[in-house]
Amino acid sequence: MIEYNNPQDLKRLIRKLNKIGITISREKNVDTILEMILNESIDITNSDGGTLYIVKEFEGQKYLVITLAKNYSVDFNYIGYKIPIDNQSIVGYVAQNGIPVTINNIQNIQNSHLQQFKLFDQALHYKTLNLMAIPMIDYQGNVIGVLQIINKKKDKSIKLTEDNIYQNIVDFTKEDEEIILSLASQASLLIERIHLYQRIEKNIANTRYALISLFNSMKQVIANLSEDILIEQEEFKKYASLDDLTGLFTRNEGMIYLEKQIQLSKMNETHFVVCFIDVDGLKQVNDTFGHQIGDELLKSFAQILKESIRSYDIAFRYGGDEFVLILYKATIREANIVLTRIQNKIDEFNTKIQKPYKIQISYGFAEYSPTSNLSTEDLIKIADENMYKVKKEKKKSRPSY
């Protein structure tokens, strides 16, 4: 929780953060977003300067490359400078481990992490007394860059010199770190969305050219087009309408996808399967161990789903302890293979992870054929009814005492 002694300062900060969030969410240019985040991070924290590093690959090796830099006291002209992603520099350490680092007493620390700072300081006749390095992490948990700010000042208008720097530097706070981490997270997700959108646009443009070139095989080209767009759009949609607890799609988003899948199935003349899954015994876990443990169970199961399905399959939380899978280009036979994989991961979890609960599920299928007239509601109902039959059989098979 961010705390400020002056309520007016807090109000101004909230208004500023809201304005930044709205502005970058409307921006479509990655470079503009990066520059905005760097400038606002420096401004909000009263820092003297900052650097933005982006992860890029050279000859099979990933590096942090200085993409943007700003400093009010010296001319920092190291754009394009590469730093390895390892523990030999602070930003390399942050990129490698995906965790923020704040240091308020650099001059008193003897550490190999600081070698990069010493190099820059010596070259610029500058002193770095404190710093904050924040990882920029995308939706899949990959570090795509590092946002670093240095030398928090008492007054942002002061130009630091070797003579006045010690009197004019104050410590970065935990609140500073939380604010900048929030800004970096927003920027990371927006940048990933823009990149995905650009890939979709490029894919569509390339496919249009293929349609003209391969006119005689139009039907096959259309099938490829729909599949490509489906894959790209599902990647893009990872950034919208996610369930807060599990990170899966919400029910509303999942049903929209199901409707789209019916349309694509008719166009491509392909089958797909809806699987309705119920987590068994959640109420008993909640009653015995509390809702926090029950939530942990649901999050663990959702993670298993994410790891078990293909990138173009869809999992969403239907409600409470109920989940739905949409398995693209699949029949009941292929769907059983997917559920076997999920069950194996559940068994491994129950065996290896020491928890007060065991994950158990019941499930049922509904297969969609392009010649059928089943609606989204029909498919969910059929899969739910089949799941309920399985659940009833499991109860019957349990020994009675």
- What is the pLDDT at residue 346? 94
Higher-confidence residue of 369 and 200: namely: 369
- What is the pLDDT at residue 381? 95
Sheet holding 322-327, edge to edge: 314-319, 322-327, 272-279, 361-368
- What is the pLDDT at residue 236? 45
- What is the pLDDT at residue 229? 52
Task: Tally the residues of the chain.
Answer: 401
Q: How confident is the model at residue 247 (pLDDT cuts 50, 70, 90)?
A: confident
What contacts 308, CB < 8 A, 6 or more positions away?
Answer: 338, 341, 342, 345
Higher-confidence residue of 117 and 301: namely: 301
What angle, rounded to 10 degrees, do the helices at 218-236 and 174-213 form? 180
Q: Does domain 241-397 have CATH number 3.10.20.340?
A: no
pLDDT exceeds cutoff 60 at 307: yes
The model's pLDDT over 221-238, given as tens digits with 9 standing for 90+, comes to 445 555 555 555 555 455
- What is the pLDDT at residue 3? 44
Q: Please identify, in words, the CATH class of the domain defined by 7-187.
A: alpha beta
The model's pLDDT over 335-370, given as tens digits with 9 standing for 90+, comes to 999 999 999 999 999 998 888 889 999 999 999 998
- What is the pLDDT at residue 386? 94
Q: Where are the domains of the chain?
A: 7-187, 241-397
pLDDT over 70 percentage in the chain: 74
Instruction: Note whether 91 and 183 are within 8 A (CB).
Output: no
Determine the average pLDDT of the residues in 76-98. 87
The model's pLDDT over 148-198, given as tens digits with 9 standing for 90+, comes to 999 899 988 888 888 898 899 999 888 888 878 877 777 676 666 655 555
The secondary structure of 192-260 as a DSSP string is: HHHHHHHHHHHHHHHHHHHHHHTGGGHHHHHHHHHHHHHHHHHHHGGGSSB-TTTSSBPHHHHHHHHHH
Q: How confident is the model at residue 140 (pLDDT cuts 50, 70, 90)?
A: confident
Among 190-194, 272-276, 296-300, the range scoring the smallest mean pLDDT is: 190-194
Range among 11-25, 32-46, 113-127 rated most confident? 32-46
pLDDT over 90 percentage in the chain: 27
Q: Which amino acid, 239?
A: Y
- Phi, psi angle pair for 214, to nearest 5°: -115, 50
Structure tokens at 167: 């009197």
- What is the pLDDT at residue 366? 95
Instruction: Note whether 220 and 338 are within 8 A (CB).
Output: no
- What is the pLDDT at residue 276? 97
pLDDT exceeds cutoff 90 at 382: yes
Structure tokens at 60: 């099979």
- What is the pLDDT at residue 280? 92
Higher-confidence residue of 30 and 51: namely: 51
SS3 content of the chain, % helix, strand, coil (to 5): 55, 20, 25
Mean pLDDT value across the chain: 80
Determine the average pLDDT of the residues in 262-275. 86
pLDDT exceeds cutoff 90 at 299: yes
